[in-house]
Structure 1
Amino acid sequence: MALYSVSPSVLSSCLKSPPNHHVKLFNKSLPSLSRSRLNPFINKASTTSVEGLTRRTGNHHPNLWDDDIIKNIREQQYEDSHYKESAERLIAEIKDMFNEMPTAKSGKSCAENAFERLVLVDKVQRLAIDRHFKNEITQALDYVYRYWSDCPRDLNTAALGLRILRLNRYPVSSDVLRHFKGNDGQFLCPSTQSEEEKIGSILNLYRASLIAFPGENIMDEAKAFATTYLNQALQRTDISSILSREIKYNMEYGWHTNLPRIEARNYMDIYGENTSWTEFSGNKEILNLAKLDFNIMQSVHRQELQSILQWWKDSDLDKVDFARHRHVEYFALACAYCIDAKYSAYRRDFAKLCALATIVDDIYDTYGTIEELKLFNEAVKKWDSSLPNSVPENIKIAYKAFYMAINESAQAAKKTQGRDMLPYSREVWEHYLKALTKEAEWLANGYIPSLEEYLENGAPSSGYRVTMLQPTLTLDSLLPDKILLEMDYPSRFNELLCLSLRLKGDTRTFKAEANRGELVSGISCYIKDHPGSSEEDALDYLKDLFQRRLKELDWEYLKPNNVPAISKDHAYNIARSYQLLYKERDGFTNSNKDIKDLVSQILLEPMPM
């Protein structure tokens, strides 16, 4: 099985229920555990012999990041005070740009004033420096929203405003795009625009169309039109290489598989090569701040990485040789969206808990026997500090690291939340392990459940919950139980997060898992439910379901409720980071290609100044 699963009763919501379906609590008891010590599919998987017992292994590639690679990085000393002082000066200059923007009394039209504000907000958000300008962005967007009904005089302003206002949780309707759609289905740009300006407008239309809610047909039409238009534009020889790169990047990464520092790194390259852009008033300062901020924060994140490496070494987790060692990759993901220096505890806990959840997943999926899984479950339920001696040493090492990390993370959460969160966290992990055990039973017994049963097991088996909860509790926002229920299980937000990850994951992992003897996936369960259907039929169904539920997820994410924005943003960005890992392949398992490059760009390679 892959690491991430879905929430309970979700199939009925996918197939039968309207969008206001409420998830049911997972309360089914586990069947009696099989006493089998050897998986019946063992001949289909790689095996290793430990103390006379044949065990399945995943043949995972080794850790790509030994200590020498990290220690030999040439430091740029961006933690020195004069770099921070330079950044503060640039921040002050850019704040002045916000504050000096024209108002309705300036003589400029509402559309012009709105567009200038939207463009500046777009720049600082694309370059991941927006955290320095929270008040200024709020003031700018309040102005745009106040005059929104009068502002969108052209497609570019409408598309740019729709996307930015939505992502900042202003309630704006996609109907604004209908004003720019002709009878022939084309979206119209002003005839006074140059060809590159028109292409830029359609690119903004494409970006806006990705932030769609259920039932918004105009967004589907905009996406279809923009996709065709931009693909044709890429075939032209008269557009600049800069614009071509921007189109390719946005069409490849979109919104749901993108992260702030990855986007920032890309746009720093694009903007840096565009002399006409850097010569425009204020843009050079914005770009310089983006580069400087990137390098300053990279220095902070590198220091934190050293502590992650030391933890891994001190915990002896390198001796757990059957499992995936992805602690550096997970830490890089956290740094790609959780940037601020004050959230060190979040990045640390996310990396540790993701790494441990992955190791636990490998114990339950491949390596452990049913008896050992039972002992693991019992130890967690009693919250014992160690496993019995009958359990192999490498599993005991993993359990000890797991036990200590949960306790340490609970202490960090208590400092923020003002109450003991360990019982809540333990309950989340117990549900996770029970569901993993059920998957192990299915495997041991050669049982393929219905798709409904398969998905219903998902909430506690979702590594999403155990990797989201404790890090999010360390952020500087209070989450009493009532508010936790709006973000965590059994909220619809959590249900859809888990479902989107499972659907995406199954389309990427099912073949590799089948080769390891793991026959249960959304693909195999769909085929069981629909005799005569093909693998392609199952993939088409899951992909379509994924796209539909993604819209509902965006609505749950962006709609107003009582959850602090920073908590909801980080919970959602975890899902985006996992979608990125599943973008081309199972990046949780195979991180030696594009994921390796991602780690290098985020943690190891400073931006040239």
Structure 2
Amino acid sequence: MMESLTFSIETLVEKVKEEIFTTFDVYNSFVSKSAYDTAWLAMIPDNPKKCDPMFKGCLEWVLENQKEEGFWGERDMNGLPTIDSLPSTLACIVALKKWNVGYTNVEKGLAFFQENAEMLLREKHQCLPRWFAIIFPAMVELAQETGLDVTDELKGVLSDVFLKKQQIPESEGDANDHHEYYPPLVSFPEALPSSCAIDREIVLKNLSKDGSLFQSPSATAYAFMATGERKCKEYLESLVRRCPRGVPPMYPMDEELIKLSVVNQVTRLGLVEYFNAEIEVILSEVYRNYKKQQCPHTMDANLEPAKFYKDSLAFRLLRMHGYNITPWSFCWFVHDEDILAHIERNSGYYMSSMLNIYRATDLMFSGEYELKEARSFSRKLLEQNMMRRNEEDGLIIIPNFHELVELELSIPWIARMDHLDHRFWIEANHVDALWVSKACFYRLSCLHNDKLMKLAVENYKLRQSIFQSELEQVTRWSKEWGLSDMGFGREKTTYCYFAVAASSSLPRGSVVRLIVAKSAIIITVADDFFDMKGSLEELRSLNDAIQRWDGKGLCGHGKIIFEALDGLVSDIAKKYLHQQGSDVTENLRDIWRETFGSWLVESAWRSNGYIPSMDEYLSTGMTSIANHTIVLPASCFLNPNLPPHKLKPSHYEPITKLLMASSRLLNDIQSYQKEQLDGKTNLVLLHLKGNPKAEIEDSIAYVKEVLDEKRAELLEHALMDNGSNDLPKPCRLLHLSCLKVFQMFFNSSNLFDSDTELAHDIKRGIYIPPENPIPIARQIKRGICMKEKKYSKVQARLIGGVGYQGRRSFNLQNFAWTATPRSVRRDNVIIPPKFKFRFL
């Protein structure tokens, strides 16, 4: 299996390089097509007789891109139609009807509309976006003028939409009024009433240099049909030459933003290792441009969301790849009260930008207070958006946006495992809308390139097969040395291996994962022996043996620990001698001597009731946490590798010391209660003891403040080549991965001591292959009713979804379903009409 996956991946990599990075046809590979705008171009006649379409390719796209359910437009994360499908479907039906083609498509589209429009409108009637309230009534009227009666099924809900359109202030019609972000009404000429018919003067007044109306294909198409303006025609022809089979919702788009989004998608999918050279070309070009540009304190209000999105994305990617870029490249706005107020007033249009800004602030270095302010401001708006999701303010405009925000706000990037993040983006890759256009979403997505998505899935499966094989090796090794059957403490073989495998993107055949996992297993067993099992005499005997590196006289648990450690050190030294030609045995032993010595000191403190000072405790605790014992020997096998002299305690680099301190602080914040019961000391407890008037929350806050500073310093050392250390970057990134592991284990609780908390993540990371599911449960929640004749043959299976009845939730087990006109009841839960479930 591994060989076939490897061959498939190599083939896909070459195809992706050729199709994406060589030609870089960004509009047709990564920019989503807008059914609404394409339909408007398809309506344009080719000559005064109006007997043929001017852009036949657009009409063909409409014919070929109707969804199986009968609609055109967007799906949400669960594969269900979003509200934008209603005006898009009507526009496509009108285009087909105009040229008397696609009779079957028209029937299917009408059937979808009649079955689903009322439900979709009722679901969103209290929070209809402004753009929908403008466009949808106009599309209904246009469909009726074309001879299509689409209002019978809408009952009273349509009047609510028309009423909302009438309530839109007339003052918004001024194209130059940017007090609020809302696009002016003149950018929706196809939706204006006949009394406001667009004329040539209005077109010329608002025409951009490229011949478009607000870079909107649909608005420009309507303006051309209404006025025959030559510049509009030239713009549309240019657009279709670039995008012959379906047009985007905006043209032209910032191609540099598209390229950055490609890098972002490739990174999220876990494919950086295959496209390092191509990514470097893009980022170096972006960096050159950023060095040239001035700080953008003034800009066109219409471009602000896109500008913030692009600049924060560029900052994150450039900083992650070691470029020296200032936070002011995107967060200059934090000291501009007018812009802050403007963003808050129009927060619905800035949500994607705020999320990207929040992500960018993950990479905050020490002293970057402007990033703190940007993080605080963006988080505040994102949290407000979460709380206001049901209000009539148009904020719910991007499908499943709240799920993305919830992920980012609940678990910080520094505490998330890269491997599992890759899986999330593989399975949810279509959740990538940037912001709303007139009638759909701007999307920059790798979903349009099936080879790249297949590569991501195959690569994830290959890594899983490697992880399974290596975990078997580690488990067998632990059992053979007797470490997994000690009879006390924590058996964490799987946890230790999963942590290193999921936290870093090491090469497939890297021995680093095995070295780190085995070292962590020995540390866990030995630490538990010092904490809970060994007498002080036994601990001294073991430490003496380690200092001499001679196990004579040891017995029982001490002998098992020493022999396993000696075997591991010998194996590591032998591998290094074979690869690099020098002997590092004594260097490795010295690191372990230092670590065992610190454990004995802490045991003596506990036994004697000695309370150290905070400085004395931290000096010993940094060593006893033993992260350097894991990361330094493993770094000898990276490329480029760690210089052997850096293994000596006196030569530890600042980043190593920062890792040691940060890991200790993370542990202490979550374990002070347990350690207090065990009679052990802890930095939180020491601070509380030294400040009698303080509460425990004050001491925790103090330790967290120290941690935040050291973590920011470590991040800068890991990412930047600033001359403060001479470790190769792969070694520094391994330090960062190790910090992420500790942050994951101790982010909000002590996961390492739990036997069950990580079980689900381990299964998804190592055993269960990724999927891209379309849960049926969301269809139950929404109650969308599809025609029985279309779905009589459809069956689907859902494992562990969630259904809803009012505010009451219930868990669904495996089931199959078919369409039915009857409601059914199970466990006092009503399944809506048109669905019948057969529980398996």
Would you say same fold, with TM above 0.5?
yes
Q: Within 5 Å, give how 1:144-183 maps onto structure 2.
A: 144-150=286-292, 154-181=307-334, 183=336
Structure 1 position 319 matched with structure 2 position 485: yes
CA spacing shift, 1:481–1:231, aligned 2, 3 Å: same
Give the aligned residue type for 2:521: A
The aligned residue for residue 243 of structure 1 is: 401
CA spacing shift, 1:514–1:541, aligned 2, 3 Å: same
Q: Secondary structure at the match of 2:521?
A: helix
Kept in 2: contact 1:450–1:526 (CA 8 A): no
Structure 1 position 375 matched with structure 2 position 541: yes
Q: CA deviation at 1:530?
A: 1.9
The aligned residue for residue 569 of structure 2 is: 406
* In structure 2, distance between residues paired with 1:122 and 1:298: 23
Structure 1 position 126 matched with structure 2 position 284: no
Which deviates more, 148-157 or 465-474? 148-157
Of 697, 700, 712, which aligns to 1:539? 700
Q: CA deviation at 1:534?
A: 2.3
Which deviates more, 199-208 or 552-561? 552-561
Q: CA deviation at 1:172?
A: 0.3
The aligned residue for residue 753 of structure 2 is: 589
Kept in 2: contact 1:205–1:226 (CA 8 A): yes
Kept in 1: contact 2:430–2:445 (CA 8 A): no
Q: Secondary structure at the match of 2:759?
A: helix
CA spacing shift, 1:331–1:337, aligned 2, 3 Å: same
Give the aligned residue type for 1:183: D
Structure 1 position 446 matched with structure 2 position 609: yes
Give the aligned residue type for 1:533: A
Q: Secondary structure at the match of 1:300?
A: helix
Q: Within 5 Å, give how 1:35-114 maps onto structure 2.
A: 77=1, 79-81=2-4, 83-96=5-18, 97-101=20-24, 112-114=254-256
Kept in 2: contact 1:213–1:552 (CA 8 A): yes
Kept in 2: contact 1:373–1:437 (CA 8 A): yes
The aligned residue for residue 388 of structure 1 is: 553
* In structure 2, distance between residues paired with 1:460 and 1:601: 33
CA spacing shift, 1:480–1:394, aligned 2, 3 Å: closer
Kept in 1: contact 2:665–2:683 (CA 8 A): yes
* In structure 2, distance between residues paired with 1:411 and 1:488: 24
Give the aligned residue type for 2:413: W
Kept in 2: contact 1:300–1:341 (CA 8 A): no
* In structure 2, distance between residues paired with 1:242 and 1:89: 34
Of 727, 735, 738, which aligns to 1:563? 727
* In structure 2, distance between residues paired with 1:111 and 1:503: 46
Kept in 2: contact 1:493–1:553 (CA 8 A): yes
CA spacing shift, 1:585–1:533, aligned 2, 3 Å: same
Structure 1 position 286 matched with structure 2 position 437: no
Q: Select the structure with the greater relative contact order (CA < 8 A; seq sep ≥ 6).
A: 1
CA spacing shift, 1:261–1:102, aligned 2, 3 Å: same
CA spacing shift, 1:460–1:182, aligned 2, 3 Å: closer
* In structure 2, distance between residues paired with 1:185 and 1:552: 33
Structure 1 position 254 matched with structure 2 position 412: yes
Q: CA deviation at 1:194?
A: 9.7
* In structure 2, distance between residues paired with 1:213 and 1:111: 32
Of 655, 658, 662, which aligns to 1:500? 662
CA spacing shift, 1:354–1:534, aligned 2, 3 Å: same
Give the aligned residue type for 1:258: R
Structure 1 position 200 matched with structure 2 position 348: no
* In structure 2, distance between residues paired with 1:110 and 1:552: 41
Q: Secondary structure at the match of 1:256?
A: helix
Of 606, 612, 621, which aligns to 1:458? 621
Of 563, 575, 584, which aligns to 1:421? 584
Give the aligned residue type for 1:388: G
The aligned residue for residue 379 of structure 2 is: 227
Q: Secondary structure at the match of 2:666?
A: helix
Give the aligned residue type for 1:551: A
* In structure 2, distance between residues paired with 1:272 and 1:80: 30
Q: CA deviation at 1:399?
A: 2.2
* In structure 2, distance between residues paired with 1:252 and 1:414: 45
The aligned residue for residue 817 of structure 2 is: none
CA spacing shift, 1:269–1:196, aligned 2, 3 Å: farther
Q: Over aligned residues, Cα RMSD in angstroms?
A: 3.0
TM-score normalised by length of structure 2:
0.58
Query: Residues 138-186 of structure 1, C-alpha deviation per residue, up to 9 Å, x if partnerless?
Result: 1111111111145677111110011110010000001123443463275
Kept in 2: contact 1:206–1:222 (CA 8 A): yes
The aligned residue for residue 297 of structure 1 is: 463
CA spacing shift, 1:556–1:280, aligned 2, 3 Å: closer
Kept in 2: contact 1:510–1:523 (CA 8 A): yes
CA spacing shift, 1:379–1:354, aligned 2, 3 Å: same
CA spacing shift, 1:567–1:178, aligned 2, 3 Å: closer
Q: CA deviation at 1:205?
A: 0.2
Structure 2: stretches of 5+ with no match in the other structure: 27-237, 243-250, 300-306, 391-395, 434-440, 773-840
Give the aligned residue type for 1:271: N
Q: Please say which structure displays the higher CA radius of gyration.
A: 2
Q: CA deviation at 1:458?
A: 3.1
Q: CA deviation at 1:90?
A: 2.5
CA spacing shift, 1:115–1:460, aligned 2, 3 Å: same
Q: CA deviation at 1:517?
A: 2.8
The aligned residue for residue 491 of structure 1 is: 653
Which deviates more, 124-133 or 238-247? 238-247
* In structure 1, distance between residues paired with 2:341 and 2:577: 54
* In structure 2, distance between residues paired with 1:114 and 1:188: 28
Which deviates more, 150-159 or 228-237? 150-159
* In structure 2, distance between residues paired with 1:351 and 1:289: 28
Q: CA deviation at 1:279?
A: 7.5
Q: CA deviation at 1:443?
A: 0.3
Kept in 1: contact 2:511–2:637 (CA 8 A): yes
Query: Residues 398-428 of structure 1, C-alpha deviation per residue, up to 9 Å, x if partnerless?
Result: 2221221121122223334331111111111
* In structure 2, distance between residues paired with 1:189 and 1:91: 44
Q: CA deviation at 1:476?
A: 2.8
* In structure 1, distance between residues paired with 2:686 and 2:446: 56
TM-score normalised by length of structure 1:
0.79
Kept in 2: contact 1:416–1:477 (CA 8 A): no
Q: CA deviation at 1:258?
A: 1.9
Which deviates more, 577-586 or 252-261? 252-261
Structure 1 position 572 matched with structure 2 position 755: no
* In structure 2, distance between residues paired with 1:84 and 1:278: 28
* In structure 2, distance between residues paired with 1:281 and 1:419: 49
Give the aligned residue type for 1:490: Y
Of 427, 435, 441, which aligns to 1:269? 427
Q: Number of paired residues?
A: 522
Kept in 1: contact 2:261–2:444 (CA 8 A): no
Q: CA deviation at 1:259?
A: 2.3
Give the aligned residue type for 2:736: Y
Kept in 1: contact 2:399–2:431 (CA 8 A): no
Q: Secondary structure at the match of 1:131?
A: helix
Query: Residues 14-66 of structure 1, C-alpha deviation per residue, up to 9 Å, x if partnerless?
Result: xxxxxxxxxxxxxxxxxxxxxxxxxxxxxxxxxxxxxxxxxxxxxxxxxxxxx
Q: CA deviation at 1:225?
A: 0.4
* In structure 1, distance between residues paired with 2:584 and 2:753: 31
Q: CA deviation at 1:342?
A: 4.1
* In structure 1, distance between residues paired with 2:316 and 2:508: 29
Give the aligned residue type for 1:568: R
